[in-house]
Every structure is written in C-alpha cells, then in structure tokens.
Amino acid sequence: MPIHSINHFFIRAENIESTKDFYVQVLGFEIMPRPDFPFPGYWLGVNGSIQVHLGPSNIPNREKYYLGTPHDAVNGQTGVIDHVAFLAEDPQEFVDKFKSINLPFFPRYFSESKLYQIFLNDPNNVMIELNFFGITKAPEWGGEDYSKMQRVSEIKA
C-alpha cells in the first residue's frame, strides 16, 4: 500500500482567475486537462504533472465538494488550503488498515477518469486525499460518484 508521491494541493481561491494567472504567468505553471468536476476550477502543473488544484472559495455548499472545508471555514486568510493529495496504490489495503484501526474515511469515485479517492483527516484535522488511478469500477466498499453530484453554477460574491 505504498504512497509514492504527492499529487497536488488544493487552494480555495477568493479570485480563481487572478490566482490561476499568478501560478501560470508568474511561476510558470501550465493549465492541465481537468475532469468535469461539479464545480469550476483549474489543474495547474509542470512537466505534465499536476501540482496545484484551484477551486472557487465562495460556492454554495462548498463543504460538500471540498471535504477539507467545514461550513464555517474562513475565507481570505493565509492557509486556506482544503487538502493535500498523494498518489497511492492498492486502495483495498488502505481500506482494510483504516477499518482495522477504526479510522474514519470517505471514498469518492470518478469513473470518467478511472480515479478512486479516499479522504481522511490527520491528527491535526488536515484533510488527506489518497488518489488511485486506473480503477475501472468502484470497489465493494463504495464511494460517492462525482458524476452524480449536483453541479455548481454560481459563485457567491
């Protein structure tokens, strides 16, 4: 069940376009292909590898989409990072371990991208996302299907 690299970190941006422009124009990131998540955003990367995932901070029900963001989370302050994601292998081994130690986790599935995810909190309440690519069907222990989630069409001012 090795974790072999960091995949990305997610920023809830007050102004998603200026944040994207900063990473692209100032730091040299590229805009990467991004699945059709139910909320707007960007994947930014270097050398073909995703490093930063951006999403708008002020969307309705953001705690539903951003699992590291409680309903009362602050905006506009430093440290507004929703989660840290790692690439990993063998999701069943992780699930078995988490169940054996009674560690709560929340799975999600994105069939279009053959992506399975497991979210859990570290002891400091930092949301950790484990990404497993190449999964062709949701495992028996399930997971919320991104393609069936309500779409976000507005960003609050």
User: Tell me, what's the pLDDT at 123?
Assistant: 62
In a domain, 156, yes or no: no
Residue pLDDT, tens place only, 86-102: 888 888 888 888 898 89
Measure the CA–CA gap between 69 and 75, rounded to whole angstroms.
10
User: Has residue 3 got a pLDDT over 80?
Assistant: no
User: Tell me, what's the pLDDT at 73?
Assistant: 73
CB distance 23 to 122 below 8 Å: no
Q: Report the 10 Å Cβ neighbour count for 39.
A: 19
CATH number (domain holding residue 58): 3.10.180.10
CB distance 40 to 16 below 8 Å: yes
Query: What average pLDDT does the structure give for the chain?
Result: 82
76 confidence band (pLDDT: 50, 70, 90): low
In the chain, how many domains are there?
A: 1
Q: What are phi and psi of 45, to 5 degrees?
A: -155, 180
Residue pLDDT, tens place only, 92-142: 888 888 898 898 999 988 888 888 999 988 765 778 888 998 987 777 777
In a domain, 154, yes or no: no
In a domain, 153, yes or no: no
Domain that holds residue 74: 3-148
Least confident of 5-14, 70-79, 89-98, 144-153: 70-79
Residues 90, 132, 7, 75, CA torsion sign: negative
116 vs 23 pLDDT, higher one: 116
In a domain, 17, yes or no: yes
Q: How many angstroms separate the most distant Cα atoms in the chain?
A: 47
In a domain, 86, yes or no: yes
Residues 6+ apart with CB under 8 A from 108: 116, 117, 118, 119, 143, 144, 145, 146
In a domain, 45, yes or no: yes
